[in-house]
Each structure stands twice: as structure tokens, then as C-alpha cells.
Amino acid sequence: MNILVTGGAGYIGSHVVKLLLENTSYSVTVIDSLVTGFESTIGELKKIRNFDFIKADLSKWNEIEKIFKANKFDAIIHFAASLIVPESVEKPLKYYLNNTANTANLVKLANEYGVNKFIFSSTAAVYGEPDISEIGSGIKEDFPANPINPYGQSKLFSEKIIQDTAKANSQFKYVIFRYFNVAGAAPDLSIGQKTKNATHLIKVASECAVGKRDGMYIFGTDYPTPDGTCIRDYIHVMDLADAHIKAVDYLDENESDVFNIGYGKGASVKEVIDTVKKVSGVDFKVETAPRRAGDPAMLIADSSKIKEKMKWQPKYDDLETICKTAYEWEKKLI
């Protein structure tokens, strides 16, 4: 089997490529523009075993079609996307072009060249700002999708394109994963998150712990949560990667589906910061600031569906483990 991974030099994509190379015999082809991905990550992954890497931009549709003409792919795992929420508000067209239009073209090529398995990287941002009173034990997949920013909307549009295509073509099957908050690094520290100017809480706190930042802010301490700070469902990147590998085989025997992927438990901003301080032994400076627009008080996944249907079992579902691998990776980057 030959698997095409778009965005495979990026944070999440590279961890999926790592597992594909280590745990399967599949051939792997990675496409990445290296705008936000890293060539050094590709070099690190090639130490596991060789694979094809093609530097290409998904917006150059003619170039991408040449890749499909030259290769026979059996599945596509599609990560390549822009994903900074505030930027999506300032530059909505960038997000609709890079995320939605490029996904539409990739789905079109998959149909034209007989690639009938499509694994898509979506987001919990499609749910917008859910009412805490309605969440209960977590957000289920049938919870209303109501994005509040162009990033979430661009992903929801992409989901619809994939789903409508599958309705029209019975051979074409998909798994859509709606990620909650991804963090951490490969436990062997071969790869991890290198994002420049990151806004991810655990990465920012880890950067503070290793001295890359002087301190950090908690945005909002008056939310309707036990300690007044936002609660999120943090998932280790390796557990997320494992689900993508499972999805490729899942589609052999099962129908297309949408899955939330988180642990079904939340941690507050204060809890995360305290955990990073604990695993690092560093008491860095933390200040409070007003709420940021568009930050829901609580986002927690109900992950019962993926556990039941895909038999997915997380191995790293512990906040200390997530924070420790993130901190150790940050130390390595110094």
C-alpha cells in the first residue's frame, strides 16, 4: 500500500509519518511546501527508513496532478493547512484558499486517480462556542457545528466537500478526525513541535521553562470553570498519530465516519501551567490578562465513539506525560 501524506513535515503530520515508517510496511510519500514544515524533520524521519519526499505546494494544482500521474496512491492522509485562529480572522481568504480550495482539489484528484481512502485532519473549532450546560460528559460528533472563525469554517467546508463527494461516489470513503488540543512530542524526542511563534499553551509554557520566554499570560480568569480559567481536552500527539494509522485499515471493513479525538477529560490553563512547572522544576513568571475573543470556556471531547468503533486506546493520556515530553523536546531545541 502506498500512502500519500500532505503536510508530513509539520508537527502532527511528521508524527503520523514516524508511526507509518516504524509500525507498517506501507510505502509513504510526503508532500510539503516547507512553508511551516521543516526539512530537518524529513531528514530525521528518513533515519527510520527511506520514503519519497516531494517539496510541492498544494495550491499549484497542475504540479500536484503530475504527482498523481506519476504515482499510484491507495490512501491520502491530509494535514496540510493553515491553522492559526487569529490570523484566519485577519486573512480569511488565505484560509478558504489554503484549506478549503486545496482540499477540494485534492479530493478531485483522489476521485480522478482512484484513491478511495481519504483521512482528513479537522478540528474541534467546527463546534464554535458550545454552551457548557449542554456539553455534559463531552462534545459528541452530532453536536451542532457552528464555527466562530474562518479557520473552523474552512475546515467545516472541507468536511462537507469530502462527505458530498463520498455520497456521489460509493467507492470513495473517508475518516474525518476532529482534533481537540494536540500537544507533546515523540517520547524518543526524535521529532516534536518546532512551530515558530507558537500560541499553543503547553509549548508556550515549556518555552518559558527552558528560558526562551521571560514569562507568559493567562488570558481570562473569570470563566465559569472551577478555577476561572479555560478548560481544554489535551491529547498527546502520538495517540493522535496512532488513530490515523488505525483509520487506514478501518476503511477496509467499515463505512466512512467522523470521529472526535481527545481523552474526554479536561485541564484548565492554570493546571497546565502548574504541571509544566512541576515536570520542569522551574517557577517561571505568569501574569493575567483579559479574555481573548473567541475562547470558549470549555472544550472536552466525548471520545467514546472512536474507542468503540476503531478500538483506539490511548497510551499517553496523562497530563504530566504530555507536558514532560513537550518540556524535554523544548530543552533539546535549545
- Is residue 198 included in any domain, yes or no? no
CATH code where residue 105 lies: 3.40.50.720
Angle (nearest 5°) at CA 251 between 250 and 257: 95
Catalytic residues: 151
Range with the poorest average pLDDT among 21-35, 125-139, 162-176, 319-333: 125-139
Query: What is the value of pTM for the model shown?
Result: 0.96
Residues 289-316: what's their mean pLDDT? 93
Q: Which pLDDT band, with edges at 50, 70 and 90, does 300 fall under? A: very high
Cell 514544515 locates to 37
> Who wins on pLDDT, 293 or 204?
204
Q: Which three cell numbers stand for residue 127?
A: 463546534
If one counts the domains in the chain, the total is 1
Those residues whose C-beta lies under 8 Å from the C-beta of residue 264, and which sit 6 or more positions away, are 137, 138, 233, 300, 301, 302, 303, 304
Using a 10 angstrom Cβ sphere, with 0-12 exposed, 13-18 middle and 19 or more buried, the burial of residue 41 is buried
Beta strand pairing status for 215-219 and 52-55? Answer: unpaired
- Is residue 128 included in any domain, yes or no? yes
**Position 296 pLDDT exceeds 90:** no
Q: Which domain holds residue 170?
A: 2-183+234-261
Q: Which pLDDT band, with edges at 50, 70 and 90, does 38 fall under? A: very high
Cα-based distances in Å from 185 to 188, 238, 274, 328:
8, 7, 19, 8
Which among 184, 162, 186 has a CA at the least distance from the CA of 41? Answer: 186
Structure confidence at residue 295 (pLDDT): 81
Cα–Cα dist 66/330, whole Å: 38
Q: What percent of the chain has a predicted confidence (pLDDT) above 90?
A: 92
Structure confidence at residue 297 (pLDDT): 87
Residues 149-159: what's their mean pLDDT? 97
- Is residue 137 included in any domain, yes or no? yes
- Is residue 75 included in any domain, yes or no? yes
Q: What percent of the chain has a predicted confidence (pLDDT) above 70?
A: 100
Give pLDDT tens digits for 242-266. Answer: 999 999 999 999 999 999 999 999 9
Q: Over the range 114-131, which residues count as b (16 or more CB within 10 Å of their CB) and which as e? A: ebbbbbbbbbbbbbbebe
- Is residue 145 included in any domain, yes or no? yes
Across the chain, mean pLDDT equals: 96
- Is residue 329 included in any domain, yes or no? no
Cα–Cα dist 205/322, whole Å: 12
Cα–Cα dist 12/14, whole Å: 5
Residues 216-220: what's their mean pLDDT? 97
Give pLDDT tens digits for 85-114. Answer: 889 999 999 999 999 999 999 999 999 999
Structure confidence at residue 135 (pLDDT): 73
- Is residue 238 included in any domain, yes or no? yes
**Position 293 pLDDT exceeds 90:** no
Q: Which pLDDT band, with edges at 50, 70 and 90, does 292 fall under? A: confident
Beta bridge partners of 181: 234
- Is residue 285 included in any domain, yes or no? no
Structure confidence at residue 130 (pLDDT): 82
Structure confidence at residue 294 (pLDDT): 73
Residues 140-169: what's their mean pLDDT? 97
Residues 17-23: what's their mean pLDDT? 98
